[in-house]
Amino acid sequence: MAVSSSAPDPWFVALFESASEGLLACDPAGRVVACSLEAARLLHAEPGDVQGGRVVDWITQDACEHVTGAAAPAGLGLEPGDAFAREGGGLGRPLDLRLTAVDTPSGRHWLVHLRDATQRVKAEAHLAHMANYDSLTGLPNRLLFQDRLKQAMKRARRSGTPMALMFLDLDRFKLVNDSLGHEVGDRLLKHVATTLTACMRQVDSVVRLVDQEGFTLSRLGGDEFTLIAEAIECAEDAALIARRLLEALHSPFRSGDEEIVVSASIGIAMYPNDDVDLDGLVRHADMAMYRSKSLGRGTYSFFSDDLNAAAAARLSLESGLRRAIERQEFQLYFQPKADLHTGEITGVEALIRWHCPGQGMVPPDKFIAVLEETGMILPVGAWVIRAACSQLAEWDRMGLPPLRMAVNLSARQFRHQYLASMVADTLRENYINPRRLEIELTESLLMEDNETNRGMLENLSRMGVRLAIDDFGTGHSSLSYIKRFNIDTLKIDRSFVQSLPENNEDVAIATAVIALGRSMRMNVVAEGVETQAQADLLRQLGCDEMQGYLLGRPMAAPDLVAWLQARQRADAARRGAYGASIDPMPLVDLGEPAAAT
């Protein structure tokens, strides 16, 4: 070998050849004048092959991003940084490349130092994969999703071809995780990823002009997946894709003996139709997904401006309620119930009110559903039970006749395993006989036939707490449930009472419900009684009790006490005047207290 035309020093040759780093000596024109053994190995060649050729015929930096930026020496054509050996017309081994200038009388020569970069490049690729892909499903993660979405939005803007962003959230995934364990949950997520990926591969038969490259399926975390569908023709194509995805998910997933049928809710935002930035588009798809959830799950919805306004209002309601819990802005009102035959006040129903700063008194219809959906019903519902019981105890101490207290309970509260023990503790602390507490349940709760509900109802009933079915007739109660759960009271919904006595159909319904209640030995209460004619007919039909504006509106505790006392005084006066055997107390001889709702 030779490094110049004069004979080389043997020591120098030995040193050069045995260097652990690959070394190439190049002349000012970039020709290789000497090649060490290690350099030949890295280039997958013999030293003799490399010597004499141009260094750029053996090494390339074309595909490399990480070069130092220092200008490549003119004759050499390489610069320090990443490089690749050229091999068979393509890229060979990755290399780290350094340069040392060697000035000689015949000009500037170069010593090219080469090191094998295979391990480093592999490690970097692994790290990059970990940073960009979800380790469970192998799908792009949130980071890569955002990057892809940015690029896709740019392309859609430039080309004017619409793209769709879809948010897909599995329905009731938490239930699978909680009941079957995280391992099954993880397997289910993998199954979903595979199913969706396979479905996307077939989807081009459904949607015309779709470029397969134009789909990015990602997992953002938990059970949240997203799909970017580029270059679709119109919103209807997006709907088709969504339908396909939902259908594909229906294929059952097996875990041991269990067969789980997955469903999902999808929200779709179109771009550039929805004229927003990246965060806005993501928010729109998310809102649309929540709309699908509220429509009963297993479906897809598009984002629209109304949805935006509704979502903003909903968001502010939600944060208002969180504040209300912290600042204790809730209050209980109490609406009396009376025996239709004796006129005696039998009890009250506790009804929640929210004093919202700036909005005044907000009725429960406006916020109970949000409390339920967000889970805030648990602390609020527990507060209602405690406040109602302690109020009852206070009335006992004041010497009021022993009233019954009815409290409304949401289905969601039944999932709380401590509900029964919380009720028991509250009753004990307030020295209240459980028979004086009545829990009003909706028919939908009774229809949800699951272990939890069944167990909870049995616990409450065993404890002695009375159970009532609220708004009876609006849901789908089955008689077997009523029998099974020892229901004490049926409350006929206001909608069947309001057209009495004129509407024949409602008369027929009221007659039937009362007969049913009596035959099953239940107490029948008519809700929303507003006129004396309604009360008279209901009494005639054998209804036991009534509740409604005719008797009294829901009132704050001090107003209710004043109302009861006035009623007692009037009653005593009547007895004094006419003797003990008088007709039942007229229901509305006292005048209504100020409207409180």
- What does the binding site for ligand C2E look like in residue numbers (CB under 6 A)? 335, 351-352, 363-365, 368, 381, 384, 408-410, 440, 470-471, 494, 527-530, 547-549, 554, 597
**Rounded (5°) CA angle 83-84-85:** 130
- Would you count residue 36 as binding Mg ion (CB under 5 A)? no
Could you tell me which stretch among 129-137, 403-411, 451-459, 512-520 binds Mg ion (CB under 5 A)? 403-411
- Would you count residue 413 as binding Mg ion (CB under 5 A)? no
Of residues 372 and 396, the one with the C-beta less far from ligand C2E: 372
Task: List the structure tokens of 572.
Answer: 């005593």
Enumerate residues 6+ apart whose C-beta is below 8 A from 108.
Answer: 28, 73, 101, 102
Least distance to Mg ion, CB of residue 301, Å: 31
Partner that binds at residue 51, options Mg ion, ligand C2E, none, CB closer than 5 to 8 Å by kind = none
Enumerate residues 6+ apart whose C-beta is below 8 A from 575.
Answer: 582
Enumerate residues 6+ apart whose C-beta is below 8 A from 32.
Answer: 24, 25, 26, 50, 51, 52, 53, 54, 55, 58
Of residues 368 and 393, the one with the C-beta less far from ligand C2E: 368
Least distance to ligand C2E, CB of residue 363, Å: 4
Least distance to ligand C2E, CB of residue 208, Å: 50
C-alpha closest to that of 412 among 439, 364, 376: 376
- Would you count residue 286 as binding Mg ion (CB under 5 A)? no
Of residues 335 and 461, the one with the C-beta less far from ligand C2E: 335
Residue 203 and residue 534: Cα distance in Å, rounded? Answer: 61
C-alpha closest to that of 471 among 500, 451, 452, 445: 445
Could you tell me which stretch among 114-122, 210-218, 378-386, 471-479 binds Mg ion (CB under 5 A)? 471-479
Binding to Mg ion in span 525-584, by CB under 5 A: 527
- Would you count residue 230 as binding Mg ion (CB under 5 A)? no
Task: List the structure tokens of 236.
Answer: 């209807």
Least distance to ligand C2E, CB of residue 124, Å: 56
Backbone angles phi, psi at 314, to 5 degrees: -65, -40
- Would you count residue 471 as binding Mg ion (CB under 5 A)? yes
3-state SS of the chain: helix, strand, coil percent to 5?
45, 25, 30
Structure-token match 């134009």, residue found: 214
Question: Which H/E stretch holds residue 526?
Answer: strand 523-526
Of residues 321 and 497, the one with the C-beta less far from Mg ion: 497
Partner that binds at residue 307, options Mg ion, ligand C2E, none, CB closer than 5 to 8 Å by kind = none
SS3 call for 228: strand
Contact 96, 115 (CB under 8 A): yes
Strand partners, 500: none
Enumerate residues 6+ apart whose C-beta is below 8 A from 431.
Answer: 393, 396
Backbone angles phi, psi at 97, to 5 degrees: -125, 130
C-alpha closest to that of 141 among 238, 255, 62, 220: 220
Least distance to ligand C2E, CB of residue 351, Å: 4
Of residues 162 and 381, the one with the C-beta less far from ligand C2E: 381
Least distance to ligand C2E, CB of residue 332, Å: 7
Binding to Mg ion in span 439-468, by CB under 5 A: 440
Least distance to ligand C2E, CB of residue 381, Å: 6
Least distance to ligand C2E, CB of residue 144, Å: 44
Helix then strand count (H, E) for the chain reads: 21, 22
> Crossing angle of helices 142-159/278-294, nearest 10°?
110
Could you tell me which stretch among 163-171, 296-304, 306-314, 407-415 binds Mg ion (CB under 5 A)? 407-415
- Would you count residue 408 as binding Mg ion (CB under 5 A)? yes
Least distance to ligand C2E, CB of residue 180, Å: 30
SS3 call for 419: helix
Of residues 50 and 352, the one with the C-beta less far from Mg ion: 352
Of residues 61 and 534, the one with the C-beta less far from ligand C2E: 534
Least distance to Mg ion, CB of residue 527, Å: 5
Least distance to ligand C2E, CB of residue 341, Å: 19
Of residues 59 and 409, the one with the C-beta less far from ligand C2E: 409
444, with CB counted inside 10 A (0-12, 13-18, 19+), is middle
Of residues 265 and 408, the one with the C-beta less far from ligand C2E: 408
Partner that binds at residue 352, options Mg ion, ligand C2E, none, CB closer than 5 to 8 Å by kind = ligand C2E
Structure-token match 């396909």, residue found: 244
Of residues 249 and 378, the one with the C-beta less far from ligand C2E: 378
Site size toward Mg ion, by CB under 5 A: 5
Of residues 197 and 474, the one with the C-beta less far from ligand C2E: 474
Contact 154, 231 (CB under 8 A): no
Q: List interacting residues with Mg ion (CB under 5 A).
A: 408, 440, 470-471, 527
